[in-house]
Amino acid sequence: MVMRTGIGVSAAEGVNSGVVGAESDCPIRARYELSSSRYITVKGLRIHYSAEGSGPPLLLLHGVAASLHTWDGWVHALARHYRVIRVDLPGCGFSDALRARDHYTPEYTVDLFEEVRIRLGLERFHLAGNSLGGFFAWYYAAHYPEHVDKLVLLSPIAYQQELPPMLSLLATWGIGEAARFVSPRFVVQHSVRMVYGDPRLVPSSVVDRYHALVSHRRNRHALVETVRRIKLFACDPELALHVRKLRAPTLLMWGGRDRLVPAKLIAAWQRDVDHLELKLYPEAGHIPMEEYPAETARDAHEFLSR
């Protein structure tokens, strides 16, 4: 049962309150900040989020180098049924980056999300996450089961795997250090095309958005640190043992053409999670909610509302 649907944050923390300060004049912020954008400060970090619609709370977490905009299609489809809350992960979109290298851990990030939950006044809620956001979603649900009603995971990171070449290069010292200072558009375009099942379907406006939001030096630095941490995740067999702690009913969504987190890992999820349902999208890549928003939102609603 969902006990609270409101957002317990003062309106004074909204984008029109002056919290944004001088950055409100930034052209990127003017272009991509939402009318529903709000900010809260947690652990000394300003976190960007958006809350739209009404109904049971549904919290959405995006993946690597993305932003809360990746959920636009879900918000359009689901805001009539849920209070849809989407958050920019630290160092992504308009959220501050983590301040220390040793903060790039599952434990620190999940504790940060627990404080976000408290600040937003959420007692119980549905939780969905893609890729790295999927990792944080299931890891949070495993450690704070009393707050999660149902869980939707889209190509989540969890089990040991080989990293794709682009991420492996970014994790190296030379390429990684260079990436702290430059983010060429053609590199971003290649990366975005790689996460779509059909690269021909990537609109130039989507590439523009990804490039603009990752180009901030703060976000470039966070991306390098995050990818280096993911490389450690991919080699750590102990991390996936926490998957077995999941108790929330879980819907697993996966693209058949996922080049980042291979669909062969579905078998491990089916082995380790009792209350698991699967939706496979044969033509989709790593971000099915962005490629096929109507279909994935429909399937998520059918699962959450049951």
Which CATH number belongs to the domain containing residue 111 in this structure?
3.40.50.1820
pLDDT digits (tens, 9 = 90+) for 4-28: 334 444 333 443 333 333 344 488 9
Q: What pLDDT was estimated at residue 217?
A: 81
Q: Per residue in 239-258, pLDDT tens?
A: 999 999 999 999 999 999 99
Instruction: Say what angle helices 204-214 and 185-195 make with each other, to 10 degrees.
Output: 120
Is residue 24 domain-resident? yes
Say whether pLDDT at 168 is over 60.
yes
Average pLDDT in the 123-129 region? 98
Q: How far is it, in rounded angstroms, from Cα 266 to Cα 139?
A: 17
C-alpha span between 44 and 36 (Å, rounded): 22
Mean pLDDT of 199-206: 94
Question: Is residue 139 predicted with pLDDT exceeding 90?
Answer: yes
Residue 88 lies in a domain: yes
Give residue-wise pLDDT tens across range 22-57. 344 488 999 999 999 999 999 999 999 999 999 999
Position 216 scores a pLDDT of 85
Beta strands in the chain (DSSP E): 37-42, 45-52, 57-61, 83-87, 125-130, 148-154, 250-255, 276-281
Q: What is the mean pLDDT of residues 148-154?
A: 98
* CB-neighbour burial class of residue 153 (10 A; exposed 0-12, middle 13-18, buried 19+): buried
Provide the pLDDT for residue 122.
97
* Per-residue model confidence (pLDDT) at position 169: 76
Query: What does pLDDT average to over the chain?
Result: 89
For residue 61, being part of any structural domain is answered with yes
Residue 84 confidence (pLDDT): 98
pLDDT confidence tier of residue 274, bands split at 50, 70 and 90: very high
Q: Is the pLDDT of residue 130 over 50?
A: yes
| Tens digit of each residue's pLDDT (9 = 90 or more) over 66-79 | 999 999 999 999 99
Q: Is 229 inside a domain boundary?
A: no
In this structure, what DSSP letter does residue 102 have? G
271 is a domain residue: yes
| 180 domain residue, yes or no | no
Tally the domains of the chain: 1
φ/ψ region of 123 (left if φ > 0, alpha if ψ in -120 to 50, else beta) reads: alpha
Residue 107: per-residue pLDDT:
93
Name the least confident of 3-7, 115-119, 267-271, 280-284: 3-7
Q: Tell me the three state secondary structure of residue 201.
A: helix
Q: Using CA atoms, how far apart are residues 41 and 46, in angstroms rounded to an integer? A: 4
pLDDT at residue 176, rounded to an integer: 74
Once rounded to an integer, what is the mean pLDDT over residues 176-183?
Answer: 81
Distances (CA, A) of 292 to 60, 62, 137: 16, 15, 21
Q: Is residue 73 part of a domain?
A: yes
Look at residue 232 in the predicted model and tell me its pLDDT.
Answer: 81
Task: Assess contact for 269 and 276: CB atoms under 8 A.
Answer: yes
Q: Domain of 266? A: 11-162+240-304
| Residue 31 maps to a domain | yes
Q: How confident is the model at residue 129 (pLDDT cuts 50, 70, 90)?
A: very high
